[in-house]
Structure 1
Amino acid sequence: MTSDPAAPAMRLASTGTILHGVSVGEVLGVSTLADARLIAGRSGLDRIVQRLNVMEVPDILAWVKPHELLLTTGYPLRNTPQSLDRLVADLDERGLAALAIKLGRYLDELPGEMVEQADRLGFPLILLPNDVGFDDILNQVLTDILNRQAGLLARAEEAHRALVQIVLAGGGMREVAAEVAGLLDVAVAALDAGGRVLATAGDAERVATLRATCQAAEGAVTAVGTVSAPAQERPRAAALATAQERHYAVVPVVAGGHHHGRIVAFSDSGTLTPSDVGILERAATVAALVVTKQEAVTAVESKYRADFLRDVLIGRGGTRVAERARAFGWDLERRVSVLVAEIDPDTEERSTQDRMLAAWQSAVRRYDPRGAVAGFSHEVVAVIGADVDTVRLAKDALAAVSDCTFSTGLSRVAGGADLLPGAYGQALKAARVGRQLHGAGAVAHFDELGVYRLLSLVNDTEELHAFVRETLGSLAGDGDVENADLRRTLQVLLETNLNVAETARRLHFHYNTLRYRIGKLERMLGNFTEDAHLRLNLTLALHVLRMRGI
């Protein structure tokens, strides 16, 4: 017969999961087993017993289940004592907790090989007293389990109600940590995914010890001797090889399939029990609710901020712009500059946009706490005080995002909210022109664009393209390789102020070859070597081509 109670005690298995039941060592403590004797497998006393079974049929191996305590008189084995050597390995392979046997009626003794094998495998072999019935063992063990279960369930229910009430009352990580510290009489720290401490609670001395340990091991600690953090963090536990002795426990905070951090507990008065770890896991679930709620609120606030800043930058902010900005902690009444950061092409949009916004928010807080920053669909915009080193701020934000690049444009100084739309346009053009001129990750100021600044102010791009076609003729297109090569020759000639020797050196041409090319260019474009106005037109047309796509 098999008994399968919902047993209360818990421990962490090697996979980090919690098993419900009582340990073999605890089973040996019940009164009916007071005279029982452990004859082998002492290292396995912490194996968990979840159910009990009686073996009195020969084919018992087909019916046993993991975490069982198997009771037997040896009746099925009386005619095949040679199978005893293999029995321990078979039971251990099936995950049984222990084997308890009565000797004297069907078996006089256990083979030495069986005892030795049990010691090697850490599989407890228990010698039962002859005057104790199996029904007495079953009843007492199950009663002990159920009585303890009632107490543990009541404690867990109390913790659950208290933690849920925190969420219902609008509490956060600080309140969760304080509640757990009170329930378990431990020091508690809530950490984010990067290991930064968000909140602590408990005795000040314990908290100081916990903080030092979290910093030393980057937040990875051992729970009852086994790491319960995500698998990718387990190597960090090497820094806390003696964590079990120092009584630490950690559980991950997971929501929506994402790891948001950890809750860590420390007790200097006694090792944290598996039941304590269970309460920590409930706290981690509540912490995950707190995190998701905060993320939802932050997302709504971020959208509201972005919508308001966008309205201001396109001239639709309405009245009371400065007052509404102050509600966000922004100061738009002073002299400010606008910065626009656009993700460079061929970059993964959504996740990169979030990281880029976080980098800019961090940089703006560091350089100008009163500055405004918001993320739009393809860009991040910041409004910064005129006295801030905007170039350095932009470079710091760029350096904080390692897996992508974005080009940044800086505007002129604007003297108030009414001038922000014009400054926004300048910054946007500076970002796009800077990328065209200097490549991905460029940081360009509107006033440093030179002639490109003037060209970018021409809103009629078709007129610009018509000017290019009229000025360069067949050299305007990229379809013909020879024409593209001639255009490159023209560009270098103009850059060197018609210095034939220098142009030949840069292009690695023979002097006579270059003279031939100049003649061919003049037949196509006109006598630009003598006509300064034509050279200006040609130079502008080449600049417009370089700004293609703006």
Structure 2
Amino acid sequence: MANDPLTVEQLMHLPAFQGAKIMAGIEGMKNEIYYVDSMEIPDLTGWLRPHELIITTGYALRDEPFLLSRLLEEMHRVGGSAIAIKTKRFLQEIPEEALRKSDLYRIPLIDIPAEIPYIDLTHSVMENILNRQLAVMRGVHEINQQFTHMVLNRRTPELVVLLGKLLHGEVAVLNTEGEVVNSTAHFTAERIADKRPIQVNNRAVGYVALTRIVDQQDRFGQMCLDQAVTVLAIEFTIRQSLQLQREREQESFLVELLSGTAGQEELLRYRAKQVGIPHVGQQYVMMIALSDPNLDQQKKEELLLTLLNKINQGEKPYRKGVLINDQLAVICATTQTDVAGQREEAKHYLENWIGGTMEQDVYKEWRCGLGCIHEKLEDLRLSYREAKRALQIGSLIHPAQSVVHFEDILVEDLLEQTRDHPSLVSLSRRFIVPLVAYDQEFGTELLATLESFLRTGGQTKKVGEELFIHRNSVLYRLERITEILGVNLHDAETRFRLDLVMRAWKLRGLASDAEGL
């Protein structure tokens, strides 16, 4: 075939080599010839090439015939193809050792008639080689055009099948995780013999996997494989571009959805379907943030993006996250029906997402706020607002909890929205300010003791455990509080008022929550 390399056997059928005879090395008739050169100097090293045909008159060997054996040894070392000698010019007889080495190394020794000009021999061989190479290049060019057309028309499966036929084996395109993207019918991962990386910007984005190794001497096969790898890089670039576009569309839709500017329910469901976000029934919003004030902005962004990528990789149950103002808003599908189940589910998610990817010291700094469960897409804006409030207020009211539900801060949410109400101001002056002033003057912790007493339902033992003091010290502090405020801490109405104003006091310094994103 025109695409096949020229062999010694085919060489002997060229018109210029009529009358030539094989003297030895008959088993090397299948040797392929890629180059042709003449040799009339005794220097044998440094210039010979693999698959090369050497033509000589034997002039350099006339006084030292043993050099022919050395030439054969050097040809064997570099992978030469054959030696053609005009024996009648200067060598009347070929040494037996040379004939023996010719057979041993399978490098044919060819006796060519002395009257045939060098130019006829070399021209004939070069013309044949160039014609075959041209046929290969034309074939590869046609293959490249087919490959490119298939990729641009999104027919990658057909490209893979064609490549398999060209290489006479099973072929697959794999992603970076080793998962099969496209393959021929009988491809199996267990049979992979070779993998070629598909690179975009010097980074492997996938692989071409083969069930047989393409021989280095199979130039056509190697070139087809190279063309396939190059063209498939375009396919992966297109895939990445489409994926990036889809992610941007999803991100834009999620921001509009959570802000409440995306439209009514019917329109929302249509747009969600268009950007690849399914409607899965019950959903809620989870807000995630890093609370460590010592983290620089770049490190925080890296951690948030790492977490976002891991969240968005999951498929079941469905969840989709978007980064908004240094916080992650995650829409989570759920089958839970109560707050306790939702909270446990969120804790599980957070541990799974963060535990295996973050440093342990950073793990402790993640906080999460949960909104209520809703069935309609248009109501997710409410869950988003609730999750933000739970995250903001929860860090002040429940600092020891990594996951805070909106229902955990319902009272504080109400109080924060009415924090300037005259009644709250009056209660604060009546019950909080005197204790703050006393603590500042005498270095005591009466306000912290009162807060723990109210939160634990008056259990003085728990108060002592929280503050690391003896129960008698707790009782003494409560007596001082009673004297300073002039109240009865066991009176239900008094304790309600104290609890209310204490919750409002803990919210001091919390910035008013904007309704926008």
TM-score bracket for this pair, using the shorter chain length: 0.5 to 0.7
Once the two structures are TM-superposed, the CA of residue 459 in structure 1 deviates from its matched residue by 8.8
Q: Deviations over 1:48-84 (max 9, x none)?
A: 87544444446665x6276473736482896797999
Once the two structures are TM-superposed, the CA of residue 396 in structure 1 deviates from its matched residue by 4.8
C-alpha distance 535-439 of structure 1, shift in aligned 2 (>3 A): closer
CA contact (8 A) 1:374 1:382 kept: yes
Once the two structures are TM-superposed, the CA of residue 194 in structure 1 deviates from its matched residue by 1.4
Q: Deviations over 1:395-442 (max 9, x none)?
A: 4586357424665433113464443322211123334566785789x4
CA contact (8 A) 1:471 1:538 kept: no
CA contact (8 A) 2:172 2:181 kept: yes
Once the two structures are TM-superposed, the CA of residue 193 in structure 1 deviates from its matched residue by 1.7
Alpha-carbon distance between aligned partners in 2 of 1:53 and 1:471, rounded to the nearest angstrom: 106
CA contact (8 A) 2:25 2:107 kept: yes
- Matching residue of 2:134: 150
- Matching residue of 1:35: 22
C-alpha distance 322-108 of structure 1, shift in aligned 2 (>3 A): closer
2:183 is equivalent to residue 200 of structure 1: yes
- Give the alignment of 1:140-539 within 5 angstroms: 140-168=124-152, 170-181=153-164, 187-201=170-184, 207=185, 209-210=186-187, 213-214=188-189, 216=190, 221-222=192-193, 227=194, 229=195, 251-266=196-211, 273-318=218-263, 320-328=267-275, 330=277, 336-342=283-289, 346=295, 356-363=307-314, 365-368=315-318, 374=322, 376=324, 378-384=326-332, 387=335, 392=345, 395-396=348-349, 399=352, 402-404=356-358, 407-414=367-374, 416-431=376-391, 442-449=402-409, 473=436, 518=477, 532=495, 536=499
- Matching residue of 1:15: none
Alpha-carbon distance between aligned partners in 1 of 2:205 and 2:71, rounded to the nearest angstrom: 47
C-alpha distance 540-277 of structure 1, shift in aligned 2 (>3 A): same
- Matching residue of 1:240: none
Task: Return the letter of the residue paired with 2:286.
Answer: L
Q: Which moved more, 1:145-154 or 1:540-549?
A: 540-549
SS at match of 1:286: helix
5+ long unaligned stretches in structure 2: none
CA contact (8 A) 2:174 2:181 kept: yes
C-alpha distance 416-398 of structure 1, shift in aligned 2 (>3 A): same
Alpha-carbon distance between aligned partners in 2 of 1:177 and 1:258, rounded to the nearest angstrom: 22
- Matching residue of 1:64: 47
Task: Return the letter of the residue paired with 2:316.
Answer: R
SS at match of 2:22: coil
C-alpha distance 153-491 of structure 1, shift in aligned 2 (>3 A): same
- Matching residue of 1:236: none
C-alpha distance 415-90 of structure 1, shift in aligned 2 (>3 A): closer
C-alpha distance 499-53 of structure 1, shift in aligned 2 (>3 A): same
Once the two structures are TM-superposed, the CA of residue 275 in structure 1 deviates from its matched residue by 2.4
C-alpha distance 167-99 of structure 1, shift in aligned 2 (>3 A): closer
Alpha-carbon distance between aligned partners in 1 of 2:480 and 2:357, rounded to the nearest angstrom: 45
Task: Return the letter of the residue paired with 2:388.
Answer: L
Alpha-carbon distance between aligned partners in 2 of 1:185 and 1:58, rounded to the nearest angstrom: 44
Task: Return the letter of the residue paired with 1:30.
Answer: L
Task: Return the letter of the residue paired with 1:98.
Answer: G
Percent identity of the aligned residues? Answer: 16
Q: TM-score, normalised by structure 2?
A: 0.64
Alpha-carbon distance between aligned partners in 1 of 2:287 and 2:123, rounded to the nearest angstrom: 74
- Matching residue of 1:97: 79
Once the two structures are TM-superposed, the CA of residue 321 in structure 1 deviates from its matched residue by 3.6
Q: TM-score, normalised by structure 1?
A: 0.61
CA contact (8 A) 1:469 1:476 kept: no
C-alpha distance 195-527 of structure 1, shift in aligned 2 (>3 A): farther
Alpha-carbon distance between aligned partners in 1 of 2:382 and 2:279, rounded to the nearest angstrom: 14
SS at match of 2:107: strand
Once the two structures are TM-superposed, the CA of residue 302 in structure 1 deviates from its matched residue by 2.3
RMSD between aligned residues: 5.9
Task: State which structure, 1 or 2, has the greater radius of gyration over its C-alpha atoms.
Answer: 2
Alpha-carbon distance between aligned partners in 1 of 2:458 and 2:180, rounded to the nearest angstrom: 65
5+ long unaligned stretches in structure 1: 1-6, 10-21, 202-206, 230-250
SS at match of 2:173: strand
Alpha-carbon distance between aligned partners in 1 of 2:325 and 2:96, rounded to the nearest angstrom: 76
Number of residue pairs the alignment of both structures matches = 464
Alpha-carbon distance between aligned partners in 2 of 1:27 and 1:521, rounded to the nearest angstrom: 111
Task: Return the letter of the residue paired with 1:154.
Answer: R
Once the two structures are TM-superposed, the CA of residue 356 in structure 1 deviates from its matched residue by 4.3
